[in-house]
Structure 1
Amino acid sequence: MKPFAFALLAATALGAAAFTQQTVAASSAKPTFGTFGMDEAGMDKSVAPGDSFYNYANGTWAKNTPIPSDKSNYGAFNLLADLSESRTKGILEKAATDPNSKIGTAYATFLDTGSIEAKGLTPIKPWLDRIKSTDKSGYAALLAEAAMGGVGGPFSAGVGQDDKAPETYILGLRQGGLGLPDRDYYSDPKFADAKAGYQTHIAKMLTLAGEANADARAKAIVDLETQIAAVSWSRIDSRDANKRYNKMSVADLQAKAPGFDFPTYLKGIGAPVDTLLVAQPSAITGIVKLVVDAPMTVLQDQLVVRSLDNYADVLPKAFDDENFNFYGKTLSGTPEQQARWKRGVEFTTGALEDDVSKLYVQQYFPPATKAAADQLVKNIIAAMNARIDKLDWMSAETKVKAHAKLAAFRPKIGYPSQWHDYGTLKIVKGDAFGNEWRANEWGRKDNIAHLGKPLQRWEWGMTPMEVNAYANFGMVEIVFPAAILQPPFFDPNADPAINYGGIGAVIGHEMSHHFDDQGAKYDKSGQLTDWWTPADVAAFKTRTDALVAQYDKYEPLPGQHVQGKLTLGENVADLAGLTVAYDAYHKALGGKTAPVINGYSGDERFYLGWAQVWRRSYREPELLKRLRTDPHAPSEARASIVRNMDPWYAAFKVQPGQKLYLAPTDRVRIW
């Protein structure tokens, strides 16, 4: 389990530093996109920026760029993800020629579908038999064994920082038990077809496994999960750091949720603790009651299906296809399964991520890129410090603490400072199922082993190959993997305005997460505590409430709106990140006026750099799923955050009556 963090997508510094004129010096080398870093051919200049800034910047690209058949969505992030994937493929193919290479063996074995097909269900049969032979008294131990193998149960446990004692690790317990993406899928009529499809999928998986009465058994599983969904917390409540923090003894938990043997479960996962954090107490209580009352046959069937789904990629093709038909086609609208090699890259990177990452960084992340990114981070931090001083709603005493928190930031750029050792992870040629099980088990054991140890501040929650970034509140850090430090986000040969509007705003976004509606609850040491005055909190909430209302009005699909409360943290970070990056860009100009390039002013290029990184098209089922589950707003709404910034109006001559126009008094101003 990776550290809790808000990611830029999905998915997220220190002390004032001097700005350097070098960061805005024009380069003689050609940028990757266009003549100054912007894909002008992808713009649709027939659209007024004030009506749809996203389509003005990306409309032609959207019209002319189909979503690849193996993807549910496609855009700038995917473009770079494909590049990382291709590069990693080259690394793994070379490793596969070395019989002594662990990553090579893992990759080649995953690709050996002939061997997987020939073995049938033989590799997983002992585990399925274990499930089917366990009675209710052994359910807690069974769930622990399932968790170690990466098979989800009615709740999940993992180790992370204690929010109120951030120098220590603690075990956390979270709600689970659902095979559909969100609790709404079980009750909202909009998802009735998806729910029916899920029940059909369960029946098909049971039938493929040779089980009788599959239809009735599938209905029983869905009925149980529908009850679990009814007692589960919403995603909005679950993102509230204060609501999530519920420390209790195991004895107290046992008293609140009687009938389930928590000590045996915790011992089974290797964490026989006395105290833990329970993220959603009422949900855990409700789920345990349902589990206690449920027939063991239904609980067994649920684990059987979850196991077949989780390991479908290393089971015979019929299971793999059926898993994709539901989770890929039905839920996300993706027409075609990814090529086997792509999934092999994903598996191997997930199983042995640091062994793969080391080779990737050596080949594809030059020191010059890291140095340039380091400087940009310093510039954005300096701009954030200056922005704090200008706030008219934050008290002087809180500003002092805010500066101290900013000074405590730990930026991580490119890749970790040290790597995990996978010496105890056994990878066996020809044993695809075993490799995946043992990799899951290694990851769980590694996570649990954090208990009682000093903080491992060197650890990352992402690989260098991921096109993403995140903020970790407990560690007071911002993290930027190597793969995002490429065009269109960052191009050393592009006009600086594009880089500040792209990666600069991304850096500002992740920094400002530490001051968003949840990040602001953590102080300079990463402790969950009240360090703002009540007046500061009230003033901040007035502004964030206005942003919630603004995003609630967006309707990407008929009758389906963005959830302003669910996406609030990301929307605050977008607004703050772009605001701070704009200041940093102008500071870096050193008092000079930016040149006009291809008819665009510096400010126009800055905002175009922002809009360009958010180009993304979605298949309708995928967009619907994201509207219910993703804390990030869809890309067009993210690009539209500019409507709250006065300089954008001046740059593009946006007028009253245009769709994005907001009167000055209606523009949300936070940072």
Structure 2
Amino acid sequence: MSTASAGALHGIQPDDINRKADACTDFYDYANGAWRQQNPIPDYMDRWSRRWQSGELNKERVRDILNELSARTDWPKGSAGQLAGDFYAACMDESRIDALGSKPVQPWLDEIGTIGDRAGVQRMIGKLHDAGVGVPFVLFAGEDLREPSQTIAHVYAGGLGLPDRDYYLKPEPRFVEARAKYLVHVAKMFELAGAPAEQAQRDAQTVFDFEKRLAEASLDNVQLRDPKLQDHPTAFADLSKLAPSFDWGRYFDAAGVPRNAVNVTQPKFLQQVDKELATTPLPQWKTYLQWHLLNTAADSLSQPFVEENFAFNGKFLTGATQMKPRWKRCAELTDTQLGEALGQKYVEKYFPPQAKARMQDMVKNILAAMDDTIGELAWMDDATKKKALEKRSTFVAKLGYPDKFKDYQGVAVSRDSAWDNVVAASRWNVADNRSQIGKPTDRSRWGMTPPTSNAYYNPLQNEIVFPAGILQSPAFDVNATDAVNYGAIGVVIGHEISHGFDDQGAQFDAKGRLSNWWTPADGKQFAAKGQCVVDQFEGYFIEPGQHHNGKLVLGESIGDLAGAKIAYRAYLKSREGKGPEPTLDGFSPEKQFFIAWGQFRGDETRLETQRTMIQGDPHPVAKYRVNGPLSNLPAFQQVFECKAGDAMVRAEEKRCEVW
């Protein structure tokens, strides 16, 4: 039976399959190895697949919308069209930006340079925070971990220019190289801003030494995955005991934030900031603050700043050899800063009502499959099952776009200065976030913009969120068979649901509270099953001597493993009473389900990016996101008739199953 005779619904991409590969040896190579061979990573990207290609196509759609908006200059002032259109137009005016050089940030640099006392340092920290420059700490609104129906202020560690603390501290050659290149990079940026070469080198060393002290007081990437380690409710009055050198009253009042209790995520870090405020000489503070201003502003300044920023953060850290075209960078920046103004136009064009309806149906089926899976678990007792099912029953799914878009009222955007627009939009976004502090949690708000090609789970609201930007082919297509949709976006839906029950999510209860709902025996069983996944991924190397950190990728890997299992279960159940879907090129619908996952997730990734990922990214590299979970699934082995001993069949005593 052909796909054509099935009513124009399409299946997998058979030409992407590497027919020379063996599905039971390396499914990542098999599922879309032919596509990767024929489609090398573009110079400006750090990874590539049909999924990433679709994400870049999505940006072309965004560009087309922005071109339409920016072509008009008669939008009502403050309207979505005026804000997004003028923001994009100013960003695209390369000749004007280049002519201005570093002038847009010079008043800021000068103001930092004239700081005369420690109170001035604190006032400048507040001013930088207002504009979204998170140095040396960050204050951000978020749900109270113990009572998520209320929103409070959280104080986070910030102020590092390298990806994370280990880059400052670890002795391995790749970190040593990164430190050396970072010093050169910081010095070059100071030179571009007008500092003599020798002074710029001294300033770079000052910045590095300052940041290293902060890094030494920071949690590492694995510790940051444990919410209990970041749960430190602190009365406002006690902030001054923790960091007495900082005038918290003045800072909160200037920020318009009520003097309520806060959560200090890393007390040791804040104590180190206090020590710096008390003892570090003013010139060093000024150099440090000037660097973080330049680092934030670089991409909105003239071409030499943009190129130097790319040389370190692009070429060195990701392996990309060419900068993205300006239109793409401007489209991304507009989405970051004014995404809900832009998003209204996006969903009108690219997310029809029938797409939302089909997604709602899939989510319902996959949630039901999760219920069935929990109910059948042999290792979990009835008391814990009851709590797990209660939690599952309170899940909320947000699809496509918010019910109410932000209005960005009061943002002043013009075509005169790209950097000034970034500051104006950042100030609005910061103030909008702060406005939630001390209020009941607004569950209608979104953490991603509608055009974003991604998804997330929020344990504090027990919600899974899928913006319209990810609900495009190859992740999801209203014209695709169920096998393809369940194998691609269906596994992602299952993955996000599973985050509610991974090593982090399992610490939050049905109301989103950081609360232990496990019996002691089941808690131990769960930890042991997680350790199986840790051990599995510790064995996945990207090059000799460099393997995944199993504890770092544990949550995402539990998500992939459970996501594939429950999405497949939901797919089979969804077809009951409907008859079989078509076979395509000899591939049964069941095979197409798994191939769809391999084709969606099967990125080619630059080695430099893989090195950065295994250091700090909780997601494994693509090869092991495909092969890792499937090698544990009996259903995959049955469908592809894999035998014991095949690489895609983990030995029974090593097979991992959490959910």
Q: TM-score, structure 1 length as denominator?
A: 0.93
Residue 624 of structure 2: aligned partner: 637
Provide the rounded CA distance (Å) in 2 between the counterparts of 1:292 and 1:239: 31
For the residues of structure 2 that align with 1:119 and 1:662, how far apart are their CA atoms?
A: 60
Q: Find the aligned partners of 2:648 and 2:24 in 1 and give their Cα distance.
A: 5
Matches within 5 A, 1:404-423: 404-423=390-409
Deviation larger for 176-185 or 246-255: 246-255
Structure 1's 178 and 26: CA in aligned 2 closer, same or farther, altered over 3 A? Answer: farther
The residue identity in structure 2 corresponding to 1:642 is L
Name the residue aligned to 1:28: 7
Match in the other structure for 2:596: 609
For residue 411 of structure 1, give the secondary structure of its aligned residue in structure 2: strand
Whether the 8 Å contact between 1:563 and 1:627 is mirrored in structure 2 is yes
Contact 1:80 1:483 in 2 (8 A): no
Aligned residue for 1:626?
Answer: 613
Return closer, same or farther for 1:187/1:390 CA change in 2, 3 Å cut-off.
Answer: same
- Deviation string 1:122-147 (CA, Å, 9 cap, x unpaired) is 32221111111113232222111111
1:42 is matched with 16
* 2:499 is the alignment partner of 1:513: yes
**Once the 2 structures are TM-superposed, how far is the Cα of residue 337 of structure 1 from its aligned partner?**
1.3
The residue number in structure 2 matching 1:665 is 653
Alignment partner, residue 3 of structure 1? none
Q: Following TM superposition, by how much is the alpha carbon of 1:272 offset from its aligned partner in structure 2, in angstroms?
A: 4.5
The residue that corresponds to 1:194 in the other structure is 178
Q: Which has the higher contact order (CA 8 A, sep 6+)?
A: 1
- The 8 Å contact of residues 339 and 451 in structure 2, kept in 1 or not, is answered as no
Cα deviation 1:389-434 (Å, max 9, x = unaligned): 1011222122222222222111111111111111210112212221
Q: Check conservation: 1:27, 1:492, Cα contact below 8 A.
A: no
2: CA distance, partners of 1:410 / 1:483: 19
**Aligned twin of 1:8:** none
Cα contact 1:144–1:266 (8 A) shared by 2 = no
Q: Deviations over 1:23-74 (max 9, x none)?
A: x99842152xxxx2x2222222222222211011122222221111111222
| Equivalent residue, structure 1, for 2:78 | none
Find the partner of 1:182 among 161, 164, 169. 164
Output aligned runs, 1:217-256, within 5 Å.
Answer: 217-256=203-242
Letter paired with 2:599: Q
Instruction: Tell me which amino acid in the other structure corresponds to 1:635.
Output: A
Residue 45 of structure 2 corresponds to 71
CA distance in 1, matches of 2:16, 2:8: 22
Residue number in structure 1 paired with 2:57: 83
Q: Secondary structure at the match of 1:421?
A: coil
Report the more deviating stretch, 166-175 or 259-268. 259-268
Structure 1 range deviating more: 265-274 or 60-69:
265-274
Q: Is the 8 A contact 1:383 1:584 kept in 2?
A: yes
The unaligned stretches of length 5 or more in structure 1 are 1-23
> Structure 1 stretch 546-555 or stretch 73-82: which is displaced more?
73-82
Question: Is the partner of 2:604 in helix, strand or coil?
Answer: strand
Amino acid at match of 1:548: V
- Structure-1 separation of matches of 2:643 and 2:240: 61
1:564 is paired with a residue whose SS is: coil
Contact 2:6 2:582 in 1 (8 A): no
Instruction: Measure the CA separation in 1 of the matches of 2:55 and 2:274.
Output: 40
Aligned twin of 1:96: 70
Note the C-alpha offset of 1:316.
1.9
Report the counterpart of residue 20 of structure 1 in structure 2. Answer: none
Q: Is the 8 A contact 1:28 1:493 kept in 2?
A: no
Alpha-carbon displacement from aligned partner over 1:188-239 (angstroms, at most 9, x marks no partner):
3322122111101111111111124111121121122122222210111111
Range with greater deviation from structure 2 (168-177 or 251-260) = 251-260
Residue 524 of structure 1, CA deviation:
1.5
**Paired residue type of 1:91:** I
Q: Secondary structure at the match of 1:81?
A: helix
Deviations 1:508-532 (A, max 9, x none): 1111111111111111111111112
2: CA distance, partners of 1:88 / 1:597: 34
Q: Is the 8 A contact 2:396 2:462 kept in 1?
A: yes
Other structure's SS at 2:547 match? coil
* C-alpha distance in structure 2 between counterparts of 1:173 and 1:108, whole Å: 35
**Per-residue deviation, 1:613:** 0.9
Residue 285 of structure 1 deviates from its aligned partner by 1.8
Measure how far apart 1:594 and its partner are.
5.8
Cα deviation, residue 383, structure 1: 0.9
Offset of residue 302 of structure 1: 1.6
Tell me the secondary structure at the aligned position of residue 131 of structure 1: helix
Matched, 1:163 2:145: yes
For 1:649, the aligned partner's letter is Q
Note if contact 2:51-2:474 (Cα within 8 Å) is conserved in structure 1.
Answer: no
Give, in angstroms, the shift of residue 567 of structure 1.
0.9
Equivalent residue for 1:6? none
Q: Equivalents in 2 of 1:572, 1:323: separation in Å?
A: 35
Report the Cα distance in structure 1 between the residues aligned to 2:113 and 2:528, rounded to whole angstroms. 55
Structure 2 residue matching 1:644: 3-state secondary structure: coil
What is the match of residue 347 of structure 1? Answer: 333
Is the deviation greater in 394-403 or in 651-660? 651-660
CA distance in 1: counterparts of 2:639 and 2:453, whole angstroms: 30
Alpha carbons 1:644, 1:662 under 8 Å: kept? yes
Q: How many Å apart are 1:478 and its aligned residue?
A: 0.7
Tell me how far apart the structure 1 counterparts of residues 479 and 71 of structure 2 sit (CA, whole Å). Answer: 37
CA distance in 1, matches of 2:521, 2:653: 21
Q: Which amino acid aligns with 2:7?
A: S
1:435 aligned residue (421, 430, 447): 421
Where 2:299 maps in the other structure, the secondary structure is: helix
Range that drifts further, 508-517 or 249-258: 249-258
Q: Given the superposition, is the C-alpha separation of residues 105 and 647 from structure 1 closer, same or farther in structure 2, using an over 3 Å criterion?
A: same
Moved more, 593-602 or 87-96: 593-602
Task: State the AA in 2 paired with 1:221.
Answer: V
Q: 1:642 to 1:131 in 2, by over 3 A?
A: same
On the 8 A contact 1:331/1:625 being kept in 2, the answer is yes
SS at match of 1:556: strand
Provide Cα deviations, 1:301-345, integer angstroms capped at 9, x if missing partner.
122121112112222222122111111112111111111111111
**Can you list the C-alpha shifts for 1:423-465, whole angstroms capped at 9, x where unaligned?**
2101122122211111111110000000133322111111121
* Equivalent position SS for 2:148: strand
Which one of the candidate residues 536, 541, 552 is aligned to 1:550?
A: 536
1: CA distance, partners of 2:488 / 2:212? 42
Q: Match of 2:541, SS?
A: coil
**Aligned partner of residue 546 in structure 2, secondary structure:** coil
Q: Is the 8 A contact 2:260 2:438 kept in 1?
A: no
Judge conservation of contact 1:263–1:272 (CA < 8 Å) in 2.
Answer: no
Q: Which amino acid aligns with 2:499?
A: H
| Cα deviation, residue 658, structure 1 | 2.6
- Aligned: 1:366 with 2:352: yes
Quote the offset at 1:275 in angstroms. 1.5
SS at match of 1:238: helix
5+ long unaligned stretches in structure 2: 76-81
Contact 1:238 1:279 in 2 (8 A): no
Q: Write out per-residue CA displacement over residues 479-515 of structure 1, whole angstroms, 9 at most, x where no aligned residue.
A: 1111222222222333322221111111111111111
The alignment's C-alpha RMSD in Å is: 1.8
Number of the residue aligned with 2:462: 476
How far apart are the structure 1 equivalents of 2:236 and 2:420? Answer: 33
Is the CA contact 1:245–1:278 (under 8 Å) kept in the aligned structure 2?
yes
Deviations 1:229-258 (Å, cap 9, x if unpaired)?
Answer: 222101111111111111012332322334
CA contact under 8 A between 1:153 and 1:177: conserved in structure 2? yes
Match of 2:291 in 1: 305
